[in-house]
Amino acid sequence: MKDIFEDLVIRKGLIGGGNQLQLFKNIRFTMYPARAFSFLLQKLYEDNDLKYIRKLGKKMGRVSSENFKKEIAKMKRLLKKEYQTLPALIELSGFGKIHSFKENKKEIILQIKEHPVITPSKEIYGKKSIACSFYSQIYAEYIKTFRDLNNVQISHNKCLCNGDKLCEWRFKWE
């Protein structure tokens, strides 16, 4: 995939000013360091449990994907057609650079090799990293929102944190 951010900068869909980035002229981007975010996730897990992390991911994915869907519908002219796809929108949301995205009628297989939060989380916490549990829910919510699905089954079989070369998720639906 080409760089969606580069294209948006050229089209003025992404502008800088007042110490902040703005997407589509009205969505402000907060820039919380990704590495700090991996600390935060792990800390939230230690203070709570994995169920809490999943709930948080689900909520964040839902709110963000629904908001995004609405804004993109209004701002389509700032976004090239080739970027109006689910993997491009996930990248645009800041939830990771996608290595491969395969979709058929009832399934999406998503691979990520290098992730701003999962990669540092793996370096710090190794197999104990829970970052993928959080992102599994984020991606599932994006898929549900943009494919109008009520439910998707998530499996995360390959994982950077378990020593694999990449993270691979399989999202299935009926």
The only residue of 110, 132, 143, 152 in contact with Zn ion, by rule CB under 5 A? 132
- Residue 167 makes contact with Zn ion by CB under 5 A: yes
The least distance separating Zn ion from the CB of residue 133, rounded to whole angstroms, comes to: 9
Kindly state the smallest distance separating residue 115's Cβ from Zn ion, in Å.
8
Residue 40: CB minimum distance to Zn ion, A:
18
SS3 115: coil
159 binds Zn ion (CB under 5 A): yes
For Zn ion, how many residues bind (rule: CB under 5 A)? 3
Half-sphere exposure of residue 47: CA atoms within 13 angstroms, side-chain side: 6
Pairing status of strand 167-172 against strand 14-17: unpaired
Q: Which helix (H) or strand (E) holds 89?
A: helix 86-92
138 binds Zn ion (CB under 5 A): no
Q: Are 139 and 90 in contact (CB under 8 A)?
A: yes
- Which residues would be at the binding site for Zn ion (CB under 5 A)? 132, 159, 167
